Amino acid sequence: MLNRIIATILPVFPKKLIWLFSKRYIAGESLDDALRVSRDFNLQGIEVTLDVLGEFQTNKEKIEYYKTTYLETINESIKAGIRTTFSLKPTMFGLLIDKDLCFSHIHDIVSIVSKNGSMIRIDMEDSTCTSLELDLFKSLHKEFPENVGIVLQAYLKRTLDDLKDMKRISNDSIPVNVRLCKGIYIEPESIAYKKRSEINEHFIEDLEYMLANRFYAAIATHDHLLIDASYHLIDKYRVSNDMVEFQMLYGVTPELRYSVVKKDYRMRIYVPFGKDWFNYSTRRLKENPKMVSDIIKALFVRK
Ligand SMILES: Cc1cc2nc3c(=O)[nH]c(=O)nc-3n(C[C@H](O)[C@H](O)[C@H](O)COP(=O)(O)OP(=O)(O)OC[C@H]3O[C@@H](n4cnc5c(N)ncnc54)[C@H](O)[C@@H]3O)c2cc1C
């Protein structure tokens, strides 16, 4: 409880201190850092998805800067031969201030990625963005069905209906590519399941729907119960290895990651990098309040 309270006041902690604990979740501030980390994963047979940190942007100049950074990331990683996809948050491109401008920027980025045979995954943000991000995905999917993927959150009560809706645009030759995760934002009880057991139950229900209906399933979790349940469903529906992958975050549960890799499943690590690491880090630290005690110790206990 104390850890949770402290976690909510994390944003007022000194930035340098937060960085000490955040660096485990972030490849670094520069593209070179991200490429180095990605190359190491690739050498271990693990793929990556690169994410430029930043979100909820309202400044048009900054939005242009992010677009340039994404295009540079795509060009340089492909030039370096990194096996990667790219994840992006539409609010970084002004989704909540100018939807058309945001769609147009992301369209340009997906268009470049499609020429290189890779893909952009649209991360799912809080529930003010859900419908907008699904609309964005569907409009891009019409033009670039193989180069764009979406994320759905098992904690949202609407998710199974969203999957059923998406089934209409999925087909055997080009299945819709969905990353399924629990969801990280704080949402009201009216629209989201709150208990861990309920979220897990719906995660399994959503995943079963995806596998039974031949979606490409990117299973994003570090929860060993869900990973075991996924193995069971993959066997039940005889899903081939090219229709499923597991995804985990950089810096989280490396042993579990290797146990999945040893079973010969495709594993992809989400590798965030960039100067705007603060919001991402505080969300990760809130998820893992045990680390907050370490922060307090670092503040008050001199070694
Ligand atoms: C690849 C990937 C992409 C994601 N994309 C999105 C997205 O687009 N939108 C969105 O809302 N959410 C996203 N998430 C976050 C996700 O929704 C969950 O908040 C997060 O993954 C924690 O849930 P869990 O399934 O790992 O289960 P949990 O029950 O939270 O965790 C299971 C175990 O994993 C370990 N663990 C989990 N998190 C941490 C941590 N931060 N530090 C240390 N140990 C930890 C702990 O041992 C914990 O007991 C993504 C997650 C992954 C893995």
Q: How confident is the model at residue 16 (pLDDT cuts 50, 70, 90)?
A: confident
* Residue 8 maps to a domain: no
* Residue 9 maps to a domain: no
Q: How confident is the model at residue 29 (pLDDT cuts 50, 70, 90)?
A: very high
* Residue 6 maps to a domain: no
Q: How far is the CA of 104 from the centre of ligand 1 (A)?
A: 30
* Confidence (pTM): 0.93
Ligand 1 within 6 A of 283 CB? no
Give the pLDDT of residue 42: 98
The answer to whether 83 is a known catalytic residue is: no
* Residue 118 maps to a domain: yes
Give the pLDDT of residue 303: 38
Return the residue whose CA atom lies nearest to atom 44 of ligand 1.
Answer: 252
Give the pLDDT of residue 109: 98
* Residue 206 maps to a domain: yes
What lies within 8 Å, CB to CB, of 189 at 6+ separation is none
Domain extent, residue 48, equals: 17-295
pLDDT tens across 110-164, in order?
999 999 999 999 999 999 999 999 999 999 999 999 999 999 999 999 999 999 9
Which range (113-122, 168-177, 258-267, 278-287) has the least confidence?
A: 278-287
Ligand 1 within 6 A of 278 CB? no
Ligand 1 within 6 A of 221 CB? yes
The answer to whether 179 is a known catalytic residue is: yes
Q: How far is the CA of 89 from the centre of ligand 1 (A)?
A: 17
* Residue 4 maps to a domain: no
The mean pLDDT of the chain is: 92
Give the pLDDT of residue 14: 77
Alpha-carbon separation of residue 295 from 13, 122, 138, 300 (angstroms): 9, 32, 42, 9
* Residue 132 maps to a domain: yes
Report which of residues 25 and 166 the model is more confident about.
166
Return the residue whose CA atom lies nearest to atom 12 of ligand 1.
Answer: 183
pLDDT tens across 193-245, in order?
999 999 999 999 999 999 999 999 999 999 999 999 999 999 999 999 999 99
Is residue 34 within 8 A of residue 270, CB to CB? The reply is: no
pLDDT tens across 70-94, in order?
999 999 999 999 999 999 999 999 9
Q: What is the CATH number of the domain that holds 98?
A: 3.20.20.220
Ligand 1 within 6 A of 123 CB? yes
* Residue 91 maps to a domain: yes
- How far is 87 from 108, CA to CA, in rounded Å? 15
Q: How many domains does the chain have?
A: 1
Ligand 1 within 6 A of 156 CB? no
Is residue 268 within 8 A of residue 218, CB to CB? The reply is: yes
What lies within 8 Å, CB to CB, of 261 at 6+ separation is 44, 45, 46, 267
Q: Is the dihedral of CA 136, 158, 96, 87 positive or negative?
A: negative
Q: Are strands 47-52 and 216-220 parallel, antiparallel or unpaired?
A: unpaired
Alpha-carbon separation of residue 150 from 42, 90, 223, 303 (angstroms): 23, 11, 21, 46
Is residue 127 within 8 A of residue 152, CB to CB? The reply is: no
